[in-house]
Amino acid sequence: MEQIAGGALAGLKVIDLSRVLGGPFCAQILGDHGADVIKVEPPQGDETRGWGPPFQDGTASYYLGINRNKRGIVVDLTQPAGRELLLQLLADADVLVENFKTGTLEKWGLGYQETLSKRFPRLVHCRISGFGADGPLGGLPGYDAVIQAMAGIMSVNGENGGEPLRVGLPVVDMVTGLNAVIGILLALQERQRSGQGQFVEAALYDSGVSLLHPHLANYFLSEKTPLRSGNAHPNIAPYDTYATKTTPIYLAVGNDGQFAKLCEQLGQPGLATDSRFATNGARCDHRSELKAALEGLLAEHECKPVAERLIRGGVPCGPVLGVDEVVAHPHTIHRQMLVKIGDYQGAGAPVKLQRTPASYRAAPPGFGAQTIEVLSELGIQPGELDVLLKDGVIKAA
């Protein structure tokens, strides 16, 4: 089927006032799918520009990873003239993404209920916050690691008997960004019927709690506080890392049929009928014996060859790979999960649309790189731009 140029969100205008991770990640996804995203930074810049090393031309990799397909401008919203520029930007915008502390926009006279919804009734205003606007923790700032701690994620992550551990990537921030995209798209879909925009909130705390499956479901039924289980799944076995002759393999055996195939592939079909291992419940009750038996068989095999043979034989599994190996993996390349724009490299879009695929049009913007271009499109004349620059309301590269 012929692909349509422009992307699924072509024609959508997004004003991205957000910084750090959740909001910028959300806006990058919208940009990947064709939206015109204008990233508005404060005079001090998005702080992730300095979250390195490593750096490229003075900008940290952290910033580069989540800000492509955007045009970058610098506006000081603490000044009345800066806020007037924002209102001009919003005049024909579809979406506003921001993660200001609750009450900041309201203090500036730019609150959604009081101002923006009345002046721009079709605007979808998405706020990403730590804990939401209300409730016992409402309005307080939140960072990914703090929410991992407070939402119970760290409590179930770590070795059995060990200390709670932070998941080694900003999973809460990233899932909040994804939830923000979902919320924005839901609001845009509803706008097709009503003609009205609405306020969308994606809170890190809510996203963190939503990630607790199956631990929360287990707790509701058992009333037992979940314990850390290392790499093992709390409900399924064998579902864990297992030592081989070389590096670890992860077996993710979800049913009895797959377990029978595993035992057959490893030359011990009788294990599948052993009363200790014949059902998932029995295997969970005899985890240590099961692990010892499987590692005894796997000790004869190198990880990557046996993983390849097992997965092709119907056993879900894989070698534990490093980031360098993932980047070099032929399937990563085949799935177009590596993006290169000049000197920029990044991760590709994981959602594949047949007719309107994601596109990678622009590397992350330099600080204030498109300030003059974007404001000129609003009809602001060169003389006015000179005054705004002189007064420090805007900055340009």
Q: Which residues are catalytic?
A: 173
CA distance 41 to 131: 23
Residues belonging to the chain = 397
- Give the closest residue to 73 by CA, choosing from 58, 63, 85: 85
Q: Give the DSSP letter of residue 269.
A: G
Structure tokens, 312: 């092709």
Distance between alpha carbon 185 and the CA centroid of its chain, in Å? 16
- Give the closest residue to 344 by CA, choosing from 122, 26, 68, 72: 68
Q: Give me the phi and psi of 55, to 5 degrees please.
A: -125, 155
Beta bridge partners of 395: 74
The answer to whether 192 touches 165, Cβ cutoff 8 Å, is no
- Helical ranges in the chain per DSSP H: 22-32, 61-64, 80-90, 104-107, 117-119, 144-150, 171-194, 204-210, 215-222, 256-265, 280-285, 287-298, 303-312, 323-328, 330-334, 371-377, 382-390
The answer to whether 129 touches 142, Cβ cutoff 8 Å, is yes
Residues whose CB is less than 8 angstroms from the CB of residue 2 and which lie 6 or more positions away in sequence, other chains included = 355
In this structure, the strands spanning 95-98 and 13-16 are parallel
Question: What per-residue string of b and e applies to 78-91 under the rule 16 or more CB within 10 Å gives b?
Answer: ebebbbebbeebbe
Beta bridge partners of 341: 344
Helix axes 171-194, 22-32, angle to 10 degrees: 50
Q: Give the three-state DSSP class for 354.
A: coil
Alpha-carbon distances of 363 from 47, 62, 95, 252, 342, rounded to whole Å:
18, 13, 21, 38, 8
CA distance 62 to 22: 12
